Amino acid sequence: MWVSLCFCRVSVGSSEEGFKKVAMEGSGSGTGRRSWLKDDFTDLVLSWSLEEIFDENLYKYQVGEIPQSFESVDQYLGSYVFPLLEETRAELASALETVYKAPFAEVTSFNELKGDKLQYHVKVDHWRNRKSERGKEPYRTLPGDVVLLSDLKPETVCYLQRVDRTFTFASVTNTVDDETRESGDNCTPSNFKVKTEKHVEVGDGQSNSLYVLFLMNMTTNKRIWNALSMRRNLKIIKKVLCKNDSGEEYCDFCPLKCNSDIEVKFVLNLFSNLNDSQIEAISASLLKTECNHKSSVELIWGPPGTGKTTH
């Protein structure tokens, strides 16, 4: 089956102005960063141009050394934003550099989903190059896959940079159960749904073929992004980031006598077999677990072999 498609042509640097605006908002602190993180990670990645993907200096002035201390939770969470984007950009660039060996398939059906903007149902004939890397499992289409939709099967990035070429990036949002999935691990879904950054016009009649190529899966990256944008259950993080916690070493509601009783219970039975460092580590942990009035985070000090992990 042939499909006739007309992509919005992707020009080099087309999203540069909009991306710089987003980067400026995200590079600050407070409200600007929180506003940026609410944007969908997938939309941001799909909006990158080829020039931005291969620009190793794209985050040169945003990715800095992680400080040893932080002024706020926003600063702490924000310090991971640009490193995450840089890691995603680098992985996508690497995939495009070796696009010639990427798993690919020819599209046999491409239809826009009713009521869903920029989302399409895709059906392919069968996947090729599924075992492109030795030692890895054969490729299976999964939600979170970043794919390339192109009017030809590119062997190098230069193919995509030609003026007469049309292509766009897309992300797999869902796979559809079909007969291939019932055949076992040797098959991969031939029906799936994708989300694009630009509108794809579907025409009638016979025309050039359309190919879909797998580049990377960014499910883990998106989970990290979503975690950075959440502002819930931050008590532990705030506790860890607290610069001076000496005034909160003991709970006002837990008498010191109670704390001493806890230690006495274990001295005869357990502590007699431990060295001083191990006793200190266990005592600190026990005191904190017995208190139900406040959340606590204790940094356990001790030389190697103390048993910090075990205890």
Segment holding 203, helix H or strand E: strand 200-203
Residue 161 is encoded by which pair of tokens?
A: 């940079």
Phi and psi (nearest 5°) for 9? -60, 135
How many other β-carbons are positioned within 10 Å of the β-carbon of residue 111?
A: 11
For the chain, the domains span 8-96+222-235, 97-216, 244-311
- To the nearest whole number, what is the mean pLDDT of the chain? 74
Mean pLDDT of 115-120: 84
How many other β-carbons are positioned within 10 Å of the β-carbon of residue 17?
A: 8
Asked if residue 218 has pLDDT above 90, the reply is: yes
The dihedral formed by the CA atoms of 309, 299, 226 and 142, expressed in degrees to the nearest 10: -10
3-class secondary-structure state, position 54: coil
**Which residue type, as a one-letter code, is found at position 229?**
S
End-to-end CA distance of the chain: 64
The alpha carbon of 78 is separated from its chain's Cα centroid by a whole number of angstroms, namely 14
Asked if residue 87 has pLDDT above 80, the reply is: yes
Q: What is the pLDDT of residue 24?
A: 35
Q: In this structure, are residues 145 and 214 in contact, taking their beta carbons and an 8 Å threshold?
A: yes
Segment holding 265, helix H or strand E: helix 256-267
Segment holding 171, helix H or strand E: strand 167-175
CA separation for the pair 266, 22 (Å, rounded): 56
**Which residue type, as a one-letter code, is found at position 178?**
D
Asked if residue 281 has pLDDT above 60, the reply is: yes
Task: Name which residue leads in pLDDT, 164 or 101.
Answer: 101
The CATH number fitting domain 97-216, selected from 1.10.1670, 2.60.40, 2.130.10, 2.40.30: 2.40.30
Highest mean pLDDT among 53-67, 87-101, 183-197: 87-101
Task: Name which residue leads in pLDDT, 258 or 96.
Answer: 96
